[in-house]
Structure 1
Amino acid sequence: MRYYGAKPSIYELYDDDGETYDYEKGEYLRIPIEVRVDSEGKKKGEVRIPEGKSTWSYGDFSFKFMTK
């Protein structure tokens, strides 16, 4: 994920199987993504997959911070 900005932020990434209408039955995820900024301006990204759940479309998350 590319992050453009200098401030902390929280986002929810939506994920479902992309093939069926199972999302209508609640078969989807909202994956919290958070970027924190410490007192020195250093950024850290975190992705929290809900406990006991797995993703359909995403698996390997990495962050690239585009602004200083």
Structure 2
Amino acid sequence: MNEHVPSQGRESALNITIDRDGTRIHRLVDDVIYPVRASRAIARRDPMVEALFGAPKVRRPKNKQ
């Protein structure tokens, strides 16, 4: 379902896209659409943060069933 909200005296208009699961995406109509990819980079703690607060707790990955 796409809902178009007209602008209020501005050059751009707001476009709201609502997915089946209720996820809402707000964007200006003149924005460029590009595919969003999940980052596969491993998140790491900054060395300065580790020096101040210690090493992060080890988390086991969740099993995908």
> TM exceeds 0.5?
no
Q: TM-score, normalised by structure 1?
A: 0.22
Which structure has greater strand proportion?
A: 1
Q: Larger helix proportion, structure 1 or 2? A: 2
Rg: which structure is higher? 2
| Greater RCO, 1 or 2 (C-alpha within 8 Å, sep 6+) | 1
Superposition TM-score, scaled by structure 2 size: 0.23
